[in-house]
Amino acid sequence: MIRTRSIGNAKVTNVVEYVGPTHLPHATFPDFSEDMLSSHADWLVPTYWIPAMNRLVIAIQIWVVEVAGAVIVIDSGVGNHKPRAAQRMNMLNTLTPAWLEAAGAARERVTHVVMTHLHQDHIGWNTVLEDGRWVPTFPNARYLTPKTEYAYFRARYDANPLDPLAGALGDSLLPIEQAGLLDLFDATQRLADTLTVVPASGHTPGMVTLHLASGGQCGVFSGDIVHHPLQIVYPALNTAFCIDAEKARARRAACLADAADREALLMPAHFPLPGCGYIRRQGEGFAFAAEE
């Protein structure tokens, strides 16, 4: 459930909170057609698609970067003991803190937690339940979230704390703000002297991708630009969760082209292990090469 590689001088590890055949293709991708999967079954099965169940294999993974004295957690997953509408996320009880510690991200050691966006499966391990209260998981860290993203989700939460899209702020972000550990950033900033912010709105109003460059190598923490490798060969394929459909398509195409041109390691939040790979140009489109 843990895999590590180097990008230049940076140690980069992905920790899988959970993974499985969880998503129906039509429910995930409204514009999906059956031949999209069947025509790519040679490489999708069984890592990314289970035909007998007709389920896409989706992971929740958390990225850890160690570089220049910083220990950075990127997108903190679902979290334990949190009530969620989706059964696959509801009231989890996993060993993720131990796995994070094994990956170098012990609670007291983490210096930064960076959120690409504020969906519930990207902010959950911001907090843990102690004595009936949600407290910061990483007490020595600064928690960083896009300013535009915060404004949108906070407005939704304030209007309705039970909003299915924004309700997770109550247990996973507001306790961070109340502890004085939350910082908002914009697209012009460089985070932790390491990560370059690139705007990627569309899936959500303020989502970003984070670019890491070190020692002549580069990687892209792509958040939810792509949920599944199918979107690499079909970049116009949006999820049901994308708020601005046309902008999401444009941002996805731009991200994939940039990753291909720079030979950057693409590190999404939801690919099963190895959890990342390279984008290759193939004709007028793209192909995916999983990390070996």
The whole domain housing 73 covers: 2-290
pLDDT digits 0-9 by tens, 4-22? 999 999 999 999 999 999 9
What local confidence, expressed as pLDDT, does residue 60 receive? Answer: 98
pLDDT digits 0-9 by tens, 196-211? 999 999 999 999 999 9
Q: pTM above the 0.85 mark?
A: yes
pLDDT digits 0-9 by tens, 84-138? 999 999 999 999 999 999 999 999 999 999 999 999 999 999 999 999 999 999 9
Question: Does the pLDDT value for residue 1 go beyond 90?
Answer: no
Quickly state the pLDDT bin for 187 (edges 50, 70, 90). confident
pLDDT digits 0-9 by tens, 42-61? 999 999 999 999 999 999 99
What local confidence, expressed as pLDDT, does residue 66 receive? Answer: 98
Neighbours of 257 (CB within 10 A): 14
Query: Which CATH number do you get for residue 114?
Result: 3.60.15.10
Bond preceding residue 268 cis, omega within 30 of 0: no
Q: How many domains does the chain have?
A: 1
Catalogue the E-assigned strands of 120-249. Answer: 127-130, 133-136, 142-146, 182-185, 190-191, 195-199, 208-214, 217-223
Question: Does the pLDDT value for residue 189 go beyond 90?
Answer: no
pLDDT digits 0-9 by tens, 222-246? 999 999 999 999 999 999 999 999 9
- Neighbour-count burial of 215, counting CB atoms closer than 10 A to its CB (0-12 exposed, 13-18 middle, 19+ buried): exposed
Range 101-106 contact pairs with CB under 8 angstroms and sequence separation of 24 or more: 102/2, 103/2, 103/4, 103/13, 103/15, 103/64, 104/11, 104/13, 104/64, 104/66, 104/71, 105/13, 105/15, 105/64, 105/71, 105/73, 105/138
Question: Does the pLDDT value for residue 178 go beyond 90?
Answer: yes
